[in-house]
Amino acid sequence: MDEKLLETFNGTAVKLAGHGRRDIAVLKEALAGVEDSLAGDMYGAGKVIEEFQAEMAEVLGKESAVFFPSGTMAQQIALRIWCDHKGSRQVAYHPLCHLEIHEQDGLKELHHLEPLLLADADRLITLDDVKNMGPDVACLLLELPQREIGGQLPEYAELEAISAYCRERGVILHLDGARLFEVLPYYGKTAAEVCGLFDSVYVSFYKGIGGIAGAILAGSREFTEESKIWKRRHGGDLISLYPYILTAKYYYQQRIGRMGGYYEQAKELAALFNSCHKMSTLPEVPVSNMFHVHFALPKEQLIPVLVQVHEETGIGLTPRLKETGETSCSYELSVGDLYSGVSKPALKEAFRLLDRLLIEA
């Protein structure tokens, strides 16, 4: 039945979410304007990597930045460096932090760090959680937005208070900014302003930016120089990373100015979902381009509904569902370039059909 959902989704003419297929055209488009004779980077050196690192250091308001093949690698290394500096093995993060649930415990198996899980899984970390976390925490990681709970954000004043508290107590603050660019319109801040609250920052180039892969880790020069040693240890200091760097640079330029639009469209789209029965979004009003869609229906009852919407309207909602309980399921949605190609009347029609089918289900 899951296959039927995927198959009908793939068969739709337009999709609500994302920037489009992750196919080879993504790479070819980014390379089209690059001169053939541009030299590739060599083990972290060369114009192509150094210029992009300098550009991102500037954007993030940090002294220095290093390009990594993945955020998984960059963040483990950041936490390791801070723990070594502090002489403690303990880091603190959210129970649904990427390092805790998506990395096969690399942080523990490779670096032997000990995470303290702050907050309940279904809510954000608060200043109170931070105040109660005990004296052994070397580094606190905050993820903005908190992806696994729909992309929620603390109010900016709370963030500032957490940052001030950490500075006062000598706790290092690291930003998991996988989707940092996507939250700037809500905060009404520059990336450098937000990053100014943190000692180190990771950003990704294949979420809202829509590149192929790759990440930037930024901080003081001392910090990034140390991170390069660990990058080599991890096997991430590839002879050439330029395929990722050139695409990151190209799509950053193309999409960084669209983040405000994605955010507005996400709010518009969430309102449509929330106007239907047995369905709601988390957060109810998005604070970035992303949200989760929750259904008060068992997966096996919901799939035929979504399949019918796919087949009758040609609008793709989702290729897959996650079961969240016996009578509930959900999926994640991130607004990208595709949304503006969806006709508004057709979209409203699709939601009318969806609502009718949900009422009957």
| Contact positions vs its own copies (CB under 8 A) | 21-28, 31, 34-40, 42, 68-74, 76, 103-106, 109-111, 206, 212-213, 229-230, 232-244, 246
Shortest separation between residue 263's beta carbon and its own copies, angstroms: 23
Buried b (16+ CB within 10 A) or exposed e, 313-352: bebbbbbebeeeeeebbbbbbbbbebbeebeeeebeebbe
Shortest separation between residue 112's beta carbon and its own copies, angstroms: 9
Q: Are the C-beta atoms of 282 and 294 separated by less than 8 Å? A: yes
Q: Are the C-beta atoms of 18 and 341 separated by less than 8 Å? A: no
Shortest separation between residue 164's beta carbon and its own copies, angstroms: 31
Q: Which is nearer to its own copies, 69 or 283 (CB)?
A: 69
Q: Give me the DSSP letters along 275-300.
A: TSTTEEEESSS-SSSEEEEEESS-HH
Enter the tokens of residue 71.
């955020």
Shortest separation between residue 192's beta carbon and its own copies, angstroms: 26
Burial of 298 (0-12, 13-18, 19+ CB in 10 A): middle
Q: Which is nearer to its own copies, 32 or 157 (CB)?
A: 32
Q: Which is nearer to its own copies, 157 or 239 (CB)?
A: 239
Q: How far is CA 95 from CA 147, 256, 283, in A?
A: 12, 30, 18
Q: Which is nearer to its own copies, 84 or 264 (CB)?
A: 84
Give the bridge partners for 173, in sequence order: 140
Q: Which is nearer to its own copies, 78 or 259 (CB)?
A: 78
Shortest separation between residue 62's beta carbon and its own copies, angstroms: 21
Rg of the chain taking only CA atoms, in angstroms: 21
Shortest separation between residue 18's beta carbon and its own copies, angstroms: 13
Q: Which is nearer to its own copies, 107 or 197 (CB)?
A: 107
